[in-house]
A and B are shown apart, each in its own frame.
Chain A
């Protein structure tokens, strides 16, 4: 803890950093609460906080954070005070998700709504697929968030397509946050510090997507001692090494994960092959009391081939890479700035064969991004934020499909030969978090993005407003209004089963996507915040939505933009959330009732139709039970209504002897007129903790994780397609499913 004094007239500002006592990691979202004036703040993404209070002889400050022992400080305030606080993990080793009984009621007290922080430690107690703990799997259990069908990647927030989610790792965009079929996310949980999902009421600092922001922060690395954590599972293993480069001054963390089914299970796989890996690295340096430099990078890749069922043959290769340089500078106790330079790239190369036809997709994106964010803690009633962001985008999409040639050889798409689409976005933003009174607070902001491509410029004003009215100390009403614009589009294929979607940029012909969202919510905590509850309703309109024109056949010679049609969508729903944070049993229940429709003048006879991932009911239950210090049991259950898909309802005979194909045609009466069977799945796991074991006189903690994915082996639908008997001409619907029951065991260790 360090003290530094400076003089202020009537108020006093307390500022500093909040850190983990054991590792020196800065803590994001830790609460600082002043007992004198019953006001507080939370630490920012770099662990920095600043709290301005009326001067008093002695200030009582409580520092707290989920899973940490709160720390109470009584400090004399002769002037401004710099105070860095270290919090220790909760004394009960296994009570990882226990919340202290001090105030930790951001969900009620903060003006922002639609924001959910997912503690990494909570992720570590819930069931995992094949032993892999997974951020995105947990995200999909939250209200308003839906997974696609089993086997699809990404997630869907409040009726938005997957491209409408901005997934950021240390501020770098990750375009595809999943490994193949969405079984695992690309994020190695051991390397992560914080995960925040924003699904409405977006702060002005965020833009470029309509539906959600998933902000993921990597750990900085232990700056006090070297630590090694790892895990050995059936299909993957991972290891994370972190430590001090110079104690208390600089640190590093390197984390790697690879699957090895391609190596050890080769005899079982036949013509199937698959591997993925991901690698995270981060270095951070304190360049004095006021400056800090971060270097971080990530790369992940999937490569798979499968030849099996007639409906599913593919070769796929995709990956993300990011690199971020960030510089924090604290100008004063009230002014904090971060400057970032970011590079990210994404590519997807897919070849797939189905029913004697092939499709090839190549989708590449490269971004260069420079941004400055400034936070000014003006006083006890204002927190101002502002910044600028410049992004240079390069897209190179290509797609092709035709009958397999007689030679059987399909030439692959060469990325270098694809025409590049260049665009750039300049954005400015400003916002103010205002405490109008003890009951009323709001966050008002404005973002101005300017998009340019091929001489066409789009400029928008995006107002953002969050209002909170506290009914009492544990209850609040909130409202939010946001406008968002999005300059990239993932054009979804309505028929293909594999991720044949393709990313393109806005252009003079393709207008940016736009959304307006209104949300209202009631937030109530019980029993000293041991129970959090909320009910939120939202209504969202989306314009300039993009789909392929009817009959579009992907061809390399086609300009993709000429194959598109444009429409609108709207989504509304109500989300219920109950979370228990304390006790042996922790977890949550979320239920979402929602409806999402789209309308395109040139599709479905101009009539509205359900969004492909419109799922009326979405229930998730996640629970973890600490039986004793050795054993923890957990389970998750999900139930969702089936997604929509299109089948013809009638058959039209067209007999005119001798046409190339037979004379029966399909009579489609509506798009997305059928529903897949409802999806439900139960996963369970048991964790056997083995703390303080010894190996070569070195102490380490270990745990065995036993898990079962899809306990009752329900064959959930992946997709449905039609086949016709060539002799009888009788059509039949065929459902393809992916994952039956999968047991797993993994061993984790921590030195």
Chain B
């Protein structure tokens, strides 16, 4: 708070009045408490079946917006009955966890015992607190091999000006096919993510992370396709990553495209907000889909 001496006010009152007027034109910003509105918690479900991999399913509860609980450990629902059925084969999923080296926390999910088979129809059933959540997925997606990977230091798209991993591949001649990239790499404490966040626990010792592109690209119909994906974490010259391409189904696209558009609106204050709507589940936000993952391509950051 600026204090003006009385003598100053006596002799410089016009200046003082101008100062007051000008400060009046400047914005004031403060935290306010927003009264919570009634909120009926629902659940969030994500499970992408990948042939050869054991099924993994994230099953979390949603919470009021200003609720202090926001990590997976608090929100994971542990007491659900989760089964995935293919024909007569029933795989009962059980709670499991893995350590996220960047966030320095365990992430909880359900994992099955039986590897997912190709060209099979799967049915998900979750029972929890009297509610049933069911969906189906088919693992009949073809693997789309990557032709080449390169790097561009500056690329402009919907998300602005950013670096990019350039992935070239031959599009599948198949309707309702979608693509997303992943990159497995090791990072240390010098790395922060694209939003500027640094890991609170990383040391010089490197940990493995899996980057998943936020954008899902639709098929163009038997064309040579190039996608430029913004990496999650920053890098140094010579860092190595292993790139894979996920071929996805329509349910997966619908869900992640919605998430992507909302995230864009959350970060860019000039984008209209996006309401997440149930797509595959009538009583939950989420997806039960299938992906086909390509072989990895080694990639080294050239700069």
Given contacts A495-B271, A737-B28, A649 and B17 within 8 Å (CB-CB): no
| A268: nearest chain-B partner, CB-CB | B22
Q: Which of B67-75, B81-89, B134-142, B144-152 contacts A (4 or more CB under 8 A)?
A: B67-75
B28 touches A552 (CB 8 A): no
B267 in complex: contacting residue of A306, A312, A355, CB < 8 Å: A355
| A663: nearest chain-B partner, CB-CB | B72
A605 touches B44 (CB 8 A): no
Interface assignment of B29: CB less than 8 Å from any CB of chain A: yes
**Chain A hits for B31, CB < 8 A:** 732-735
Q: Which of B122-130, B190-198, B295-303 contacts A (4 or more CB under 8 A)?
A: B190-198
Complex CA–CA separation, A311 to B26 (angstroms): 12
Q: Which of B111-119, B168-176, B204-212, B218-226 contacts A (4 or more CB under 8 A)?
A: B204-212
A744 in complex: contacting residue of B21, B44, B274, B275, CB < 8 Å: B21
**Chain A hits for B1, CB < 8 A:** none
Complex CA–CA separation, A274 to B61 (angstroms): 50
Q: Which of A218-226, A338-346, A665-673 contacts B (4 or more CB under 8 A)?
A: A665-673
Question: In the complex, what's the smallest C-beta–C-beta distance from B60 to chain A, in angstroms?
Answer: 4
A656 touches B22 (CB 8 A): no
Question: In the complex, what's the smallest C-beta–C-beta distance from B161 to chain A, in angstroms?
Answer: 3
B158 in complex: contacting residue of A402, A649, A657, CB < 8 Å: A402
Complex CA–CA separation, A494 to B159 (angstroms): 20
Q: Which of B37, B107, B194, B230 has the most CB of A within 10 A?
A: B37
Interface assignment of A629: CB less than 8 Å from any CB of chain B: no
A265 touches B65 (CB 8 A): no
B58 touches A655 (CB 8 A): yes
**Chain B hits for A664, CB < 8 A:** 70
Given contacts A404-B160, A655-B107, A661 and B214 within 8 Å (CB-CB): yes
Interface assignment of B66: CB less than 8 Å from any CB of chain A: yes
A311 touches B29 (CB 8 A): yes
A666 in complex: contacting residue of B65, B160, B161, B210, CB < 8 Å: B65
A274 in complex: contacting residue of B25, B182, B232, CB < 8 Å: B25
A605 in complex: contacting residue of B22, B28, B63, B275, CB < 8 Å: B275
Complex CA–CA separation, A309 to B61 (angstroms): 35
B273 in complex: contacting residue of A550, A735, A736, CB < 8 Å: A550
| B14: nearest chain-A partner, CB-CB | A234
B266 touches A666 (CB 8 A): yes
A403 touches B268 (CB 8 A): yes
Question: In the complex, what's the smallest C-beta–C-beta distance from A274 to chain B, in angstroms?
Answer: 7
Given contacts A357-B270, A495-B273, A548-B272, A729 and B232 within 8 Å (CB-CB): no
In A642-672, the 8 Å CB interface with B consists of 646-661, 663-669, 671
Interface assignment of A264: CB less than 8 Å from any CB of chain B: yes
| A553: nearest chain-B partner, CB-CB | B271
Given contacts A550-B273, A665-B263, A651 and B210 within 8 Å (CB-CB): no
B28 touches A736 (CB 8 A): yes
**Chain B hits for A740, CB < 8 A:** 23-24, 28
B269 touches A550 (CB 8 A): no
Given contacts A403-B161, A651-B65, A720-B32, A660 and B194 within 8 Å (CB-CB): yes
Chain A 557-569, CB-CB to B under 8 Å as 1, else 0, gives 0000000000000
Given contacts A402-B158, A654-B46, A660-B213, A733 and B230 within 8 Å (CB-CB): no
Chain A 142-183, CB-CB to B under 8 Å as 1, else 0, gives 000000000000000000000000000000000000000100
**Chain A hits for B273, CB < 8 A:** 494-495, 550-551, 646, 666, 668
In A484-519, the 8 Å CB interface with B consists of 493-497, 500
Interface residues contributed by chain A, number (CB under 8 Å): 97
**Chain B hits for A234, CB < 8 A:** 14, 17-18, 21
In A605-632, the 8 Å CB interface with B consists of 605
B270 in complex: contacting residue of A181, A500, A737, CB < 8 Å: A500
In A694-751, the 8 Å CB interface with B consists of 709, 715, 718, 720-721, 726-727, 729-745
A657 touches B209 (CB 8 A): yes
Question: In the complex, what's the smallest C-beta–C-beta distance from A259 to chain B, in angstroms?
Answer: 11
A654 touches B58 (CB 8 A): yes
Given contacts A495-B269, A727-B200, A743 and B68 within 8 Å (CB-CB): no
**Chain B hits for A658, CB < 8 A:** 102, 182, 209-212, 232
A309 touches B27 (CB 8 A): yes
Given contacts A402-B160, A551-B264, A733-B32, A650 and B62 within 8 Å (CB-CB): yes
B270 touches A496 (CB 8 A): yes
Complex CA–CA separation, A686 to B27 (angstroms): 28
A550 touches B209 (CB 8 A): no
Complex CA–CA separation, A75 to B158 (angstroms): 78
Given contacts A657-B107, A733-B31, A667 and B62 within 8 Å (CB-CB): yes
B27 touches A551 (CB 8 A): no
B25 in complex: contacting residue of A647, A649, A715, A739, CB < 8 Å: A739
Chain B 261-297, CB-CB to A under 8 Å as 1, else 0, gives 1111111111111111100000001000000000000
Complex CA–CA separation, A496 to B61 (angstroms): 31
Interface assignment of A354: CB less than 8 Å from any CB of chain B: yes
**Chain B hits for A715, CB < 8 A:** 28, 30
Complex CA–CA separation, A657 to B104 (angstroms): 12
A551 touches B270 (CB 8 A): no
Given contacts A268-B22, A718-B27, A743 and B270 within 8 Å (CB-CB): no
**Chain A hits for B268, CB < 8 A:** 355, 357, 401-403, 553
Complex CA–CA separation, A359 to B272 (angstroms): 13
Complex CA–CA separation, A356 to B267 (angstroms): 9
Question: In the complex, what's the smallest C-beta–C-beta distance from B54 to chain A, in angstroms?
Answer: 15
**Chain A hits for B266, CB < 8 A:** 666
B70 touches A730 (CB 8 A): yes
A494 touches B269 (CB 8 A): no
**Chain B hits for A718, CB < 8 A:** 27
**Chain B hits for A403, CB < 8 A:** 159-162, 267-268
Interface assignment of A604: CB less than 8 Å from any CB of chain B: yes
In B216-260, the 8 Å CB interface with A consists of 230, 232, 259
| B213: nearest chain-A partner, CB-CB | A660
Interface assignment of B39: CB less than 8 Å from any CB of chain A: yes
Question: In the complex, what's the smallest C-beta–C-beta distance from B149 to chain A, in angstroms?
Answer: 18
**Chain B hits for A550, CB < 8 A:** 261, 272-275
B269 touches A354 (CB 8 A): yes
| A715: nearest chain-B partner, CB-CB | B28
B275 touches A552 (CB 8 A): no
**Chain B hits for A500, CB < 8 A:** 270
Interface assignment of B109: CB less than 8 Å from any CB of chain A: yes
In A265-305, the 8 Å CB interface with B consists of 265, 268-269, 272, 274
**Chain A hits for B22, CB < 8 A:** 261, 265, 268-269
Interface assignment of A308: CB less than 8 Å from any CB of chain B: yes
B39 in complex: contacting residue of A553, A554, A650, A655, CB < 8 Å: A650
In A504-562, the 8 Å CB interface with B consists of 548-555
Interface assignment of B64: CB less than 8 Å from any CB of chain A: yes
**Chain A hits for B267, CB < 8 A:** 355-357, 403, 661
| A495: nearest chain-B partner, CB-CB | B269
Interface assignment of A38: CB less than 8 Å from any CB of chain B: no
**Chain A hits for B71, CB < 8 A:** 729
B261 touches A551 (CB 8 A): yes
Question: In the complex, what's the smallest C-beta–C-beta distance from A316 to chain B, in angstroms?
Answer: 13
| B47: nearest chain-A partner, CB-CB | A656
Given contacts A308-B27, A357-B268, A552-B272, A235 and B161 within 8 Å (CB-CB): no
B65 touches A667 (CB 8 A): yes
8 A–B pairs (Cβ distance < 8 Å), ordered by A: A261-B25, A548-B272, A647-B65, A655-B109, A656-B212, A658-B209, A739-B24, A740-B23
A495-B273, A660-B230 given. 15 additional CB < 8 A pairs? A234-B14, A234-B17, A274-B25, A308-B26, A403-B267, A405-B156, A549-B272, A553-B268, A650-B65, A653-B75, A659-B211, A661-B267, A671-B275, A709-B24, A738-B25
The 3 closest A-B pairs by CB, nearest first: A403-B160, A405-B161, A359-B270
